Structure 1
Amino acid sequence: MDWKSAKILLASTATAVVASQVAKKIYKYFFSNNSQSEVNYNKDTCDPLTIKNREINDVILFSDDIVRHTIRVSPSKDITLCESRELNCFKLIKYIKSARETLDVCMYLITSNEIAEHIIRLGQKHVLVRIVVDSDMAFTPQSQINRLKEYSFIQVQTNKKSILMHHKFCIIDGPRAMKRKSILKSHAEKLNVHAQYMNNGGKQHCKTKHVKPFVMSGSLNWSTQAMVSNHESVIVTSHPNIVNKFEKEFESLWVENEPALMSTS
């Protein structure tokens, strides 16, 4: 083999190595970094599980400035990945979709058809959904509240207090809500002889798996206008103290009306 052929072979090999490293870095960026909200199905249980149930501390910024992430693939070459509004909308919805047991929403305004659709799908998967909205904004022309109220498995309440309900937060799988769901389920099974028979009849019963509770809060209303045109921010955190404070605030706004819960207090 002459020197010219050897140079061509070395150049081809180096190109292939760099390309494989680039592909690996890009795959890791898109699939590993967001793995806490990916869904995996465990054969031994009936519930979808998160791949990595790890601590969450994140910020989603809707801004004119594109957030850039640079990946170094060799001493002389970098690849820049851009985080656009479209990717941030996808990320926000991905966090919402990660709810496994409960979703408590306290939102001044909900007009996003896409988010409403995902809330409905969560309810259809037996996620317990509660929504508190401002009474003045609940039934404006573009509001999704009337649509959500059509489903019996989604509970909606308008703010009963005289002051403006301007919150924009949601709690995913909060401990208080999880306890509430467990009480409601036990009460329903006591009233349902058929369910008791099914549970004791040898059929596989869904095991309860620990899920990581977290909160999303910020300036963002769940509206297409806000996500597409406004400067907005959303903080996402699983810090227990913060989750607990938001749960207390939600409970202060939510009016309990289930006999099972009233009798156990």
Structure 2
Amino acid sequence: MRKKVQQDPALANVCVKLLEDSVRIAACHWLSDMSVKVTGGDETASDTASSRVVATEANTEMWTVKVVGLGLVALSLTLELLVWFLRRLRPGRTLNEVLFFPSEMVCVEHIFTPSSPYSCFCSMPHGVETSFSRLLRRILSATSSLDLCVFAFSNMDLCRAVLALHSRRVTIRVLTDKDYTAITGSQIGVLRKAGICVRCDVASVYMHHKFAVVDGRLLITGSLNWTLTAVQSNMENILITEEPELVRPFIKEFDRLWVNNDPARYHRSLDQKPALVIARTND
């Protein structure tokens, strides 16, 4: 409680105000009681003293009303403060969302340029929320990092989203399948040209993952390849979650694949193979 008050100046001001009001009320009440005792204890006082007693009693009643009123105000403020504390201490709702594809074809320009919602005059529907638009929003919510592990990447809108994050200095790492980087329409070359770090798997099997981790807290995974066909034509699914128990294994898997597919490590292993062959020949 003390730590939260110290960290929040507005809350500290409220607490100080309540304390001041309470002290003021207590002091007034005490002075009123003392006045009644002093005046009421002099039985031989004159008529003037008697009138003062009556006036004091009237003042006491007035102060009693004020004390009760201020007490109710203090109680109301205390309850509001308590509700505010409970809301601050209560953990936020964990995001869990499921998206299904194919997605309706709509204009998504307003997602990339929210300050100019009417900047596009194409013939597609505008301002319609779809599975694809929600996916774009989740990707663009990244503020520090995006780790992307995807089999095929040819969707230009998804590429535009990644490039937008790169322009905002978000750290981006991309892992993809080496065979599908050369297919027609692949956006991997565009990402590399923009200066985004991309690694291809060096294994003999397909790198068939389709997941992304946003800011190390948000997982996007499912059957969806990042292609136009998958978004507009195929029956696909996407799961978006902030559940730590689900996010952490994907972070660990991405880091493992990222290290294993380091080009420098791969080239070092190739450079060592001729030396081993020569040594075996000499034997």
Q: Give the Cα separation in 2 of the matches to 1:126 and 1:165.
A: 27
Q: Give the Cα separation in 1 of the matches to 2:103 and 2:130.
A: 13
Aligned to 1:55: 94
C-alpha root-mean-square deviation of aligned residues, in Å? 2.3
Aligned to 1:93: 136
From 155, 178, 187, give the equivalent of 1:112.
Answer: 155
How big is each residue's C-alpha offset from its partner over 1:25-47, in whole Å with a ceiling of 9 and x where there is no partner? xxxxxxxxxxxxxxxxxxxxxxx
Q: CA deviation at 1:54?
A: 4.4
From 214, 234, 245, give the equivalent of 2:218.
Answer: 214
TM-score under structure 1 length normalisation: 0.53
Q: Give the Cα separation in 2 of the matches to 1:104 and 1:64.
A: 24
Partners of 1:109 and 1:137 within 8 A in 2:
yes
Q: Give the Cα separation in 2 of the matches to 1:138 and 1:248.
A: 24
How big is each residue's C-alpha offset from its partner over 1:185-230, in whole Å with a ceiling of 9 and x where there is no partner? xxxxxxxxxxxxxxxxxxxxxxxxxxxx110100000111111001
Q: Structure 1 or 2: larger helix share?
A: 2
From 157, 166, 169, give the equivalent of 2:211.
Answer: 169
Partners of 2:149 and 2:174 within 8 A in 1:
yes
Q: Give the Cα separation in 1 of the matches to 2:164 and 2:103.
A: 31
Q: Structure 1 or 2: larger strand share?
A: 1
Say which SS state the counterpart of residue 179 (structure 2) adopts.
coil
Aligned to 2:176: 133
Q: CA deviation at 1:64?
A: 8.5
Structure with bigger RCO (C-alpha 8 Å, 6+ apart): 1
Q: Give the Cα separation in 2 of the matches to 1:64 and 1:143.
A: 21
Q: Give the Cα separation in 2 of the matches to 1:135 and 1:53.
A: 40
How big is each residue's C-alpha offset from its partner over 1:64-115, in whole Å with a ceiling of 9 and x where there is no partner? 89xxxxxxxxxxxxxxxxxxx9711111111110111000000000001111
Partners of 2:103 and 2:132 within 8 A in 1:
no
Aligned pairs for 1:214-253 within 5 A:
214-253=218-257
TM-score under structure 2 length normalisation: 0.50
Q: CA deviation at 1:162?
A: 2.0
Aligned structure 1 segments of 4 or more residues deviating by more than 4 angstroms: none
- Structure 1: gaps spanning 5 or more residues: 1-51, 66-84, 175-212, 259-265
| Partner AA of 1:222 in structure 2 | W
Partners of 2:102 and 2:230 within 8 A in 1:
no
From 142, 148, 151, give the equivalent of 2:194.
Answer: 151
Q: CA deviation at 1:161?
A: 1.9
Q: CA deviation at 1:163?
A: 1.7
Say which SS state the counterpart of residue 235 (structure 1) adopts.
strand
- Structure 2: gaps spanning 5 or more residues: 1-90, 105-127, 265-283
% identity of equivalent residues: 34
Give aligned pairs, total. Answer: 149
Aligned pairs for 1:2-21 within 5 A:
none
Say which SS state the counterpart of residue 254 (structure 1) adopts.
helix
Structure 1 pair 56/151, CA: closer, same or farther in 2 (3 Å)? same
Partners of 1:160 and 1:253 within 8 A in 2:
no
How big is each residue's C-alpha offset from its partner over 1:128-178, in whole Å with a ceiling of 9 and x where there is no partner? 0000000110121110001110022x110001222210000000011xxxx
How big is each residue's C-alpha offset from its partner over 1:205-261, in whole Å with a ceiling of 9 and x where there is no partner? xxxxxxxx1101000001111110010000011111111100111111103589xxx
Say which SS state the counterpart of residue 148 (structure 1) adopts.
helix
Structure 1 pair 64/234, CA: closer, same or farther in 2 (3 Å)? closer
**Which structure is larger by alpha-carbon Rg, 1 or 2?**
2
